Amino acid sequence: MNIEIAPSILSADFSNLANEIKKCEKAGARILHIDVMDGHFVPNITIGPVVIESLRKKTKMILDTHLMITEPKKYIEPFAKAGSDWLTFHIEAVKNPSALIKKIKSLKLKAGISINPATPVSKLSKYLKELDLVLVMSVNPGFGGQGFIPSALKKISDLKKLTKNENIKISVDGGINFDTISDVVKVGADIVVAGNSVFRSGLSIARSIKKLKVLANLE
């Protein structure tokens, strides 16, 4: 099993972003999770393509871009141009997910769909064959540092069964810390997104990532 920890820069020190992500890379992280919020789909506003463009110059990590925005269609090209590698949009925000998946793939990026805690896994069934990634939210999107919602565990294990013949990664996002990581890995997560527990655990970034890996039984 090759489970990955994807640090979420939402909890990083934005005045020192290049250094923070270098530390993640040095600690062995291969995927950098970037939260894009528009103040409409979620009540918070974060970053846009211009930041991704700057980060692209500083790291070779996979830029895993999580679009928490109401009009993902409008922004696929700008994020692709800026250097995103993976683009994940929310199924709650779009009418025709297949068209968006096609668009993302036509730009040679990996395509993902995310589901909020209130959205059932069954909403994804039709799209599983086309997708590279499913991002299961284990908090209501909008902010870092929230508590893990345990009903995500059943959703992950259901998805694991549904995708056993597909080449698709299951990523989990929200409230994953030293206490909750082993549960999400046990039920089948391939990628674990971690914000506060990487950047604000009280330990260094390297030690936090190491500890998460040990607790997930990856090392």
| Active site (catalytic) residues | 35, 173
In which element (H, E) is residue 162 found? helix 152-162
Closer to Zn ion by Cβ: residue 140 or 157: 140
DSSP state of 15: G
Candidates 55-63, 153-161, 187-195, 206-214: pick the segment binding ligand DX5 (CB under 6 A).
187-195
**CB atoms closer than 10 angstroms to residue 49:** 19
Residue 70 touching ligand DX5 (CB under 6 A) = no
Question: What is the sign of the dihedral through the CA atoms of 45, 34, 142 and 206?
Answer: negative
Candidates 3-11, 100-108, 124-132, 160-168: pick the segment binding ligand DX5 (CB under 6 A).
3-11
Closer to Zn ion by Cβ: residue 66 or 155: 66
- Of 59, 119, 146, 182, the one binding ligand DX5 by CB under 6 A: 146
- Of 4, 5, 10, 113, the one binding ligand DX5 by CB under 6 A: 10
C-alpha distances (whole Å) from 184 to each of 67, 181, 189 are 22, 5, 6
- C-alpha triplet 89, 93, 94: angle, nearest 5°: 85
- Of 21, 27, 33, 80, the one binding ligand DX5 by CB under 6 A: 33
What's the rounded Cα separation, in Å, for the pair 155 and 128?
14
Query: In the complex, which residues of this chain contact ligand DX5 (CB under 6 A)?
Result: 8, 10-11, 33, 35, 66, 139, 141-142, 144-146, 173-176, 193-197
